[in-house]
Each structure stands twice: as structure tokens, then as C-alpha cells.
Structure 1
Amino acid sequence: MAIDNDENNRGATEMPENGLYLYPVSAQASGEGLPYAPVDWPEPGDIWRWKVGNRVAVSGYFIDRYLYLPKRLQRVNKAKSFKSKLAVEQYIQKIGADVEAFFALFSWKIPSREQSEVKGEDLGSELQHGIRCCKAGNTSCGSLVESDEALPGHMVCDICCTEPHFCRDCCCILCCKTIDIAYGGYSFIRCEAVIGEGVICGHLAHMRCALGSCMAGVVEGCIGLDTEYYCRRCDTRTDLLSHVAKLLQTCEAIESRDEIMKILDLGASVLHGTQRLAAMKLLHHIELVMGKLQSGTCLEDVWKMEHTSAANLGILIHDALESSMNEKPAHDRIASPHKVSESFDPVIESLKLEVKVDEMLAALRKSQEQEYNMARDKLCEHKNYLKDLYQQLNKEKAELAQHAAHNAHRGALTKLVRNRLDQIKSEEIKLKEMEEVAKGFGRTSKKILKKHFDLHC
């Protein structure tokens, strides 16, 4: 993606807390360095790049904000860009740097040229006096409902949640408009990802907004979604298979043919292009129902037909998901041919197989990430140790040159330098052995894994 400086935006200025002068920019503007990206970090010559999206908060700052690694770091990092502040924080923590010190180097907030006009009733006084109210002025907001149930806390972010008219409990993070709870709230998705102890993300998004923003459904490229939702606030993926199955069950209780078609079309949009067997079967089921409705079949007859029963397929998928973790091995299920002929359902077994393979691939990806992190930590630790030895050797050589004329000191310093060189040579041999891990842990000898990576295979 090309990153171009917007030099024409350097007119108006603003001074934030860290003393940087900001200039407003237009939508989709981009650039590099200060004031919106770090320079000379972590090493001199490293210049970060930035970019903004289209959405602007009522405070006048862009909601969508992107940060790009310097070219030097892009060559050694899998992730080259960050789409949220949380993603940046996780990267900074991962490399062992101070997060607060990093963000103090530049301004995360970027003002927009086109300032948004704040509309609607001012709810500030009510909030200050502790009166229960919705920041968006939504009388149907879930935050207004009294509940005795102990619910998990929600993540409070410093982007949308700080806006005076944005309510995390009822506003879409992509369009900032309130969600519709009609028919059980089929039209939106809430991110239930656990962010901390007893805390979930809790941010909402319209399904249509997520689909239009390539944050849901089937998306190719770097995100790589397949019947999933990607949360813009916490970078967590949510499987949408059960959500679409619930849409079908919701439709069975609706009497409006137009509303049913609208809901089914949403479900089909989420599943379109999927490569997952369970999702493909679900999409085929939705298309059967839509075909019956378009042909004029009455609603009662549509749901009576066995192959278009929303409840049957919804329960089938739910059971497959629930039983996949406790499923018996294949040889246990086929021990009795007579029993198989009575209980074996190919559709159910296909769905279970799909779920099981997805879980295997997820486990493989996780194990590979753990191996990579372990190798990275050990290699970086050894690298830093060698660099310290190099610095020590350089210091000792300088001392040897300084005492060249004093024979009493020269002998001891010469021996010290030789010992240091032998130590460095030994550590470089170890590093050479550790290079074998580049082929993967599975192809690295057990001796090396045990000796250098503390793995006892």
C-alpha cells in the first residue's frame, strides 16, 4: 500500500499534552514520521508510517488509525502494519519495550479537516450526576435494563468509548449508529472475547457494516476470514456459524415474508464463498428456504418440510459443536456394524468432522506460534549475550593498548583478551548449532532442542 505525505494539511496546528504540534488531515491521508508516527525508534533511522480511514469521531479525531513498521523491521516481522492501538500495544509488549514511553514519542490522535458537528441532546449533566442513561440517547439500550445477574465487565477503549455520544452497549463500532434489537438482535454481533480477568471486549457491530468493511463473512488476503467476524477493537476472531444457525431459528417465528427474506439474505451473505463443509451445508439449507419462499410456498408449509426445518439444522449444528470435544475415536463408533447402521447419520458425522479438523488446524497454528516464540526468545537472549561479549572484548582491547608499555599489566590483559576470544568463539559455535531450528522443531535434533531450548523430547 502506497503511503503518501499530505503536505497541504500542515496549515492549522494544535498542541497536545506531549508538546507535538498537530495538523488536520483529510480522510485516507497518510504519511511518515512525526507528529503521527515515531522516528528513530527503536534505532536511529527507523521511521514509522501512518494512515487514517474515513470515519471521524464527534471530537474531531479519526476513529480508524493505522501504523506501519519501518522498512528494516518489516523484513524480520510477520506483521508489517497495525490496525488498532491494542495491536500496537501487544507488539511493543512482545518486544519488551515500554508501552507508555513508546506512545509518548508521537500523537496517536489525528485531527480531521472536516470537523464533525455534534448533534442531539447533551447528556453530560445526567452522566455527571450518576443518573443511569445511554450516551447515545437510546431508550432501548441494554445498559438501562436492571439485572440481578452478575455480568462480565466490558473493555473500555480510548477511541470510541470516550466519545460523548457513543454508547458501547448499543452503538456499532463501524458506523457509530445504534443497533436494532428486533427479532432477537439478529442484525448485529457482540464480541465476547475475554480481554482480561472477568472482562470481555463487549463492542458491537452491525453485520452489514462488518460485511461491507471486510470484517465478517469470507474474506481473503491478510485477514483470511471464513464465516468469521474480526473485531475492530480487540483484533479477535469470532466464529459466525452458530450465529447464522440462530438466524434460521429466528425466521421460523416470524410471519413477515419480507423480513424472513431479509434475514436469510444476511445469513447467505455471511456464508457466501465459504470452504467449510458445515458452512456450505448451512448455506445450501438457507438457499432451499429462500427458493421455497420465492416460489410462493406458504410459510407454514416451508417450515414443515423436513429438509428446510430451521430447528432441525440449528440443533444439528449445536450438537455437533457440543459433542466434538468429547467425541469417541472412530474405531469405538464402528465396533458394531449393526449399531452403525441404526445410529450413523452422515450429515451429523460430516459436521463433526468439519469441526474436528478446524480444531486440529487451530491447535497446529497455536503450537507453531508457541515454537516460534520460544525460538525467538532463546535466539534473542543468545544474541544479546554475544553482543555484550563483543563490547567487553572491545573494552579489554582498549585497556591492553593503553598498558602496552607496562609489562606487569600487559601479560594479564593479554591473557584476558585471549580468554574472551575463546569464550566468544564458543558462544558463536552454539549459535551456529541453534540455526538448525530454522528448519522447524520437528526437523531439529533432540540433542540441540534439549541443549539450547530446554526442550526434553
Structure 2
Amino acid sequence: MELMEVDGTNESSETMPKINGNGNGIHLPPVSPESYGDGLPYAPINWPKPGDNWRWKVGRRVAITGHFLDRYLYLPNTLRRLDNSIFKRSAFASKSSLEKYIKTAFPNADVDAFFASFSWKIPAKQLPVNGEEQSDSDGVVCKAGNKKCNSLVMQAEYSSLTTMPCDICCIEPQFCSDCCCILCNKFINLNYGGYSYIKCEAQVGEGYICGHVAHLNCALRCFMAGTIGGSIGLDAEYCCRRCDAKTDLILHATRLVRTCESVDCKEDIEKILNVGVCILRDSKKTSAKELLSRIELAIKKLKHGTSLGDIWKVEDSDVAISTGVSHDGIAALEVIKDQDSPDAITSSQPFLATYSDSKSESRKLDEKIDRVLQALKNSQEFEYRLAEERLYAQKNDLCHLFQQLDKERADLAQHSSEAEPGVLLETVQSREDQIKRGVMKLKDMAEIAMGFGRTSKTILKDLFDLDVED
């Protein structure tokens, strides 16, 4: 068996590669962009053991000679399942990385014979037509015709987690999983770090990720992103239409803020931050609430004319908002109140020296009022959600007790239990006493309707776990 030419350093003038076996040349059928398959002629079979068949996949970039510039080889399942650290890599995008793997994992293997058993080069079905001399990267587009596709700007050497070949949406001729929204099929935008789209990186197999992308606006409109109740149950998350996996959006929103810190256009900053507001709104997660408060404060500063360099400066009074609400729900207001007290003013610089002009002072007052109102809103939202959670939890406990009582009464009436009637009667009476205590507890909890500030501190501490200082 002759060793075929597989050196990718010279793509200029050679003919299409052929596998030479038993003297009979085998023609290599051209394939379409993003095609994939098993075994020959583009992947080994029965190596290292019978039944160990490798898989192959091609990208979208095509050289002038008609070969795919990006081709990948995947380990057979038997090798991917091995726990040894040597085998953590499951995909190879270059001959050199594959050769290194073979020599490391199988030191006694004949590397030349291995590469001679299949064709490393894969011919493209559609060759580029261009009469002018051009480099390999000129005029390159993805399967969907996008010159700015992620797959064309990312490194060809993939990590151990590789996109799973998709035989559903990706078989469409004009759909590219790297740059087409899975919900609207339109291209994603890579501007400002790609803030407007989300990529599903959930593992969907051994060494594979989903890899599909979606516009966040599309996902929000389809109720597949943000905080959604019902059966889907999202809390500042994104649900992938392809694999149903959920992705936490808090990290994405954090990246939005970092991106905005280096943007010098007010309109673009506001547009980016509004995406963050949409994906974090109504979340019950503490980290999401804190980040949302910071984003909303930055937007308000923008609308009040604050300079771009100052909207991210965190003052002491801002911390009261951005760090959320303490257990008593009033701490944020107290921080602001303490800073604005007469003693605080008199102990600072002379009164007149703190003023500049009417427009500036008006803006400062607006910002201060906004902070107070935002802190009040956060406090009230925290109190409401805490009350809602505890009241319904108590209601559910009572319903469970009523169900147990019904069953125990039925056992007592029918003598269906093996226990003595006297024991059954005691059980029923004990359950009734337990229900009475639960009803009284719910009645005490109902005092929260007057507001946390007017509710007994004992009730707040015992029934809502709130320690209110005198």
C-alpha cells in the first residue's frame, strides 16, 4: 500500500488525491460544505481494532485547488470513552495534531500506514470560479454565503469540544449553524463582541457541543430567553430550540456591561444595555437583580446627560442599589438617608462650595431621587416576593396536612390500618392539632399585609427569618 500525499503545505498543482489499494485507484467523490460521514475514503476504518470506525467533517473554506481548507477527523466511540488524559481530545483539525496523537496514544503504530489508509484531502463539490489570482482567504464565504461567519474568523484548530454534526436544520442548503439564527435563519451580528446573539455550548454527546446560535431578540419574542414561567421555567436563561438545553444569561449580561465600558457612542451603549435589561428583568436570582440594578442606573445616567466616562463610576449611594436589598428591605434607603442627613452636610466642605450651576445641580438632584426611588422599588419587590414565597409555602404545608388527615380519618372509619383504633384516634387528633397550629401561623403571617414596617418584629424574625434592628 503506497503512502498518498497528505502534506498540506503545497496545495498548488497536484491532482486530486487517490487512495491506492491493491493497485486499484479509488476516486474521491467531491462533497458539499459542512458535509460529514463515517469511514472511507475520508476517515479510517477498523483502526486500531475491528469495528473502530472514525468520522470526518469538512468546513466551508475551499482552496483554489478545490480541496477544503478545514477538515476534521473524529475518534471512534471506543477511544472517546477512555478516561485516560491522553484521549481527552476527540477531534483533530490538522494532520500534525493527529500524528502527534497517534504517536502518543499508540507508540507502536505505523503512522505512515495509518495515513495511507484514507485521504486527508477532501475535494469540494463546487469549486470557486474567479479568473483573477487570489489568496485562499479572498472571497471565502460560508455555506450560507456569509463572508463574516464565525467559522471563517475562528482558529481552525478546535478544542476537545467540537460542534456536533446536525442532520436537522443544518441540512438546509442556506443554513449555517455558526452564523444563522436558529429561530429566524438570518445572519447574526458580530459587532461589539456579538452582544445581540447567544451560542448554545451545551454538551450533547461525548466531546461534542450543540453550537447553534440565536438572536437574543428572537429568543425573547419566542419566549425562549429571559425569565419565563410555566413548563419551560426560565430564570435569566436561554433555551436552545435545537437541543432544549438551558444557558445562563447572567454571564452574557456581564459581558455586555464590560463591552459598554469601551464603547464611545451613547446610542450604541443604550441599545446594548437594553438587551441586558430584557434578559435579566423579573429574574429571582440575586446576582441577576444586582446586575440589573447597575444596568438600569447606567441607562438613567445616560438619559440625564451624564458623560460616558462617569456612568460606570459607582458612588457610595449607588452601592446601596447595586448590591441589592438587605434582609430588612430598608438598608438601602438608610444608606442614602445617612448620606443626606444635616450632620453629614455640615461636616463636609462649605455649603456654597458644593454648587456649580443650576443645570448640573438639577441633574444631580434627579439622579439622587432616581436612586431613592430605585432603592424603594427594590425594597418593595424584595418584600413582596419574600411574602409570596413564605405564604404559599405555608399554604402548601397546610394542604398536605389536610390530605394526611383525610387519609387517617378514612383509616379510622374503615379500620383499614393494622394499627389499633386507639392509636388511629390519637393520630387523627394529633394531626388536627398540627393543622390548628398551622392555621394560626398563617394568620400571624397575614399581618404582613400592613407592610413590613408595621409588622411585629417577632413575626418578621420567626416567620420570615428577618432580623430587624431597633
Q: Decide: shared fold, TM above 0.5.
A: no
TM-score of the aligned structures, taking structure 1 as reference length: 0.38
Higher Cα radius of gyration: 2
